[in-house]
């Protein structure tokens, strides 16, 4: 009897194993063959997005009464991981939809808002989460986008930068400041629809990695949003954003472990075929040491991500675990992808093989949804606070 190659998977329930296997087949059979072309074009194939909706991957936690899968947060993490093995760009599209946009609507939406918007998120509408601005990255609440009440509407003016899913979305969670003098407590979240007058999708960023994922600027010029589209309460934007991002970081961790595993899977297929000095390079001890190190780090990161997701589902404190999982998984993804490029040798530095794409895609993990330094600060602060 041999050990399982993925011990963490022994904790999965029957439904979770079935979901993981269905998504794994979809990712390898439908997404992987198109990943290079989508990366080169800098655009996701619309058929892939449609297939994600058809498979129920865009509304995993949404209750059945709205047409959703009514599954756990952990189930969404499994989906994100499997998609990232084939293409992290597709993974982050599904990640933002589930862990940020749907999550915010489920937690903070009114019954009327849920009834109106959640069925669309399940069926055909991509969501986008709009917090970052050119002058507010890690300082996410130095918001310059302004909102002002005008009768039964709010007028919104300003812009957003580096917005994932921005070009493909039909619904946006937009954060704006109603009272700049109040600091972060002046921020409010709004549900914005793409066809609202005064809303414009701007420049698409030409990125190093996850190129098929649309990352764009958004502009709001006297955009009128119904007061009924306020998400949560006026002035609670900070709370909504922080609590949603705490969960979203687990999703980024899942994306990074999927990416790292995908890179390793390609490297393993190569080293057992490639021969040098009359031997498979997989037979050289130095290569075996590198494979063992990569595999061990991926498994450690996987356990951290799964643990954070399980804590979240159980209603237990998870913020520190989420920050640690996101931090470590992003570091492991970079190291793993880099080592896998080296295992390919010279061809790993070319686009003849898919491995260089994983290397480019990995870098974003240490930047979005909280930089490495911000995760370290969160972890240290929580540890130190517990000593008081």
Selected catalytic residue, list 81, 247, 334, 369: 369
Q: Give the whole-angstrom CA distance, residue 161 versus residue 203.
A: 9
Q: Are strands 275-276 and 146-150 parallel, antiparallel or unpaired?
A: unpaired
How high is the pLDDT of residue 345?
Answer: 97
> Would you say 95 and 249 are in contact if contact means Cβ atoms under 8 Å apart?
no
Residue given tokens 């190569």 in the structure block: 270
> Would you say 212 and 44 are in contact if contact means Cβ atoms under 8 Å apart?
yes
**Strand pairing partners for 224?**
155
Residue given tokens 């490029």 in the structure block: 341
3-7, 10-14, 73-77, 318-322, range with the lowest pLDDT? 3-7
> Would you say 129 and 171 are in contact if contact means Cβ atoms under 8 Å apart?
no
> Which helix (H) or strand (E) is 275 found in, with range?
strand 275-276
Helix residue ranges per DSSP H, 157-284: 237-271
Quote the mean pLDDT of the chain: 95
How high is the pLDDT of residue 319?
Answer: 97
Q: Answer yes or no: CATH 1.10.540.10 is held by domain 7-125.
A: yes
Helix residue ranges per DSSP H, the chain: 14-26, 32-41, 46-54, 73-86, 88-95, 103-108, 111-123, 237-271, 285-313, 319-344, 355-362, 372-386
Q: What is the mean pLDDT of residues 100-124?
A: 98
**Secondary structure of residue 278 in the 3-state scheme:** coil
Confidence category of residue 4, pLDDT binned at 50, 70, 90: very low
Q: State the sign of the Cα–Cα–Cα–Cα dihedral 111, 100, 154, 237.
A: positive
CATH of region 238-386:
1.20.140.10
Q: At what angle do helices 319-344 and 372-386 cross, to 10 degrees?
A: 140
User: What is the CB-side half-sphere exposure of residue 167 using CA atoms within 13 A?
Assistant: 17
Q: What is the mean pLDDT of residues 80-107?
A: 98
Confidence category of residue 7, pLDDT binned at 50, 70, 90: low
**70 has pLDDT over 90:** yes
**69 has pLDDT over 50:** yes
Q: Are strands 171-177 and 127-130 parallel, antiparallel or unpaired?
A: parallel
Q: Give the whole-angstrom CA distance, residue 298 versus residue 362.
A: 13
Residues 6+ apart with CB under 8 A from 89: 35, 38, 39, 44, 210, 211, 212, 213, 361
Q: What is the mean pLDDT of residues 346-374?
A: 97
DSSP state of 66: G
pTM of the model: 0.95
Give domain limits for the chain: 7-125, 128-236, 238-386
Q: What is the mean pLDDT of residues 301-327?
A: 97
Q: State the sign of the Cα–Cα–Cα–Cα dihedral 203, 205, 206, 212.
A: negative
Q: Counting beta carbons within 10 angstroms of the beta carbon of residue 373, is it exposed (0 to 12), middle (13 to 18) or buried (19 or more)? A: exposed
From its phi and psi, is residue 371 left (phi > 0), alpha (psi between -120 and 50) or beta? beta
Confidence category of residue 235, pLDDT binned at 50, 70, 90: very high
Nearest to 99, CA basis, from 346, 293, 369: 369
369 is catalytic: yes
> Would you say 41 and 8 are in contact if contact means Cβ atoms under 8 Å apart?
no
Give the class (CATH, top level) of 128-236: mainly beta
> Would you say 77 and 67 are in contact if contact means Cβ atoms under 8 Å apart?
no
Confidence category of residue 1, pLDDT binned at 50, 70, 90: very low
**Secondary structure of residue 159 in the 3-state scheme:** strand
Q: What is the mean pLDDT of residues 327-336?
A: 98
Q: Counting beta carbons within 10 angstroms of the beta carbon of residue 349, is it exposed (0 to 12), middle (13 to 18) or buried (19 or more)? A: middle
Nearest to 61, CA basis, from 122, 124, 125: 122
For the chain, report the end-to-end CA distance as a whole number of angstroms: 49
Residues 6+ apart with CB under 8 A from 285: none
């Amino acid at each position: 009897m041999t050990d399982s190659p993925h011990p963490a998977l022994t904790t999965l329930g029957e439904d979770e194993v079935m979901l993981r296997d269905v998504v794994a087949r979809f990712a390898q059979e439908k997404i992987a063959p198109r990943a290079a072309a989508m990366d080169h074009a800098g655009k996701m194939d619309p058929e892939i997005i449609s297939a994600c909706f058809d498979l129920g991957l865009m509304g995993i936690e949404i209750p059945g009464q709205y047409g959703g899968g009514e599954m756990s947060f952990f189930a969404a993490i499994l989906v994100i991981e499997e998609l990232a093995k084939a293409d992290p760009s597709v993974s982050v599209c599904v990640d933002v939809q589930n862990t940020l946009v749907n999550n915010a609507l489920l937690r903070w939406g009114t019954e009327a808002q849920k009834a109106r918007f959640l069925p669309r998120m399940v069926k055909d509408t991509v969501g986008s989460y709009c917090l970052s601005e050119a002058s507010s990255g890690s300082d996410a609440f130095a918001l310059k986008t302004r909102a002002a009440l005008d009768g039964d509407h709010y007028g919104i003016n300003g812009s957003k930068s580096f917005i994932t899913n921005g070009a493909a979305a039909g619904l946006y969670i937009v954060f704006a400041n109603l009272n700049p003098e109040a600091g972060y407590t002046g921020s409010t979240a709004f549900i914005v629809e793409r066809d609202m007058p005064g809303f414009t999708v701007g420049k698409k960023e030409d990125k190093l990695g996850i190129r098929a994922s649309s990352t764009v600027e958004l502009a709001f010029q006297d955009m009128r949003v119904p007061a009924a589209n306020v998400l949560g309460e006026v002035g609670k934007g900070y709370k909504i954003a922080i609590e949603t991002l705490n969960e979203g970081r687990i999703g980024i961790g899942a994306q990074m472990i999927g990416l790292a595993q995908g890179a390793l899977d390609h490297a393993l297929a190569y080293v057992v075929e490639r021969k040098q000095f009359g031997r498979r390079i997989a037979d050289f001890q130095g290569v075996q040491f590198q494979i063992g190190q990569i595999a061990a780090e991926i498994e450690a990161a996987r356990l951290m991500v799964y643990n954070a997701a399980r804590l979240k589902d159980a209603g237990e404190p998870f913020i520190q675990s989420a920050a640690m999982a996101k931090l470590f998984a992003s570091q492991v993804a970079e190291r793993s992808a880099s080592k896998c490029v080296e295992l390919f040798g010279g061809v790993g530095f070319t686009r003849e093989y898919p491995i260089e794409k994983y290397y480019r895609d990995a870098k974003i993990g240490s930047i979005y949804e909280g930089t490495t330094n911000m995760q370290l600060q969160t972890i240290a602060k929580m540890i130190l606070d517990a000593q008081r």
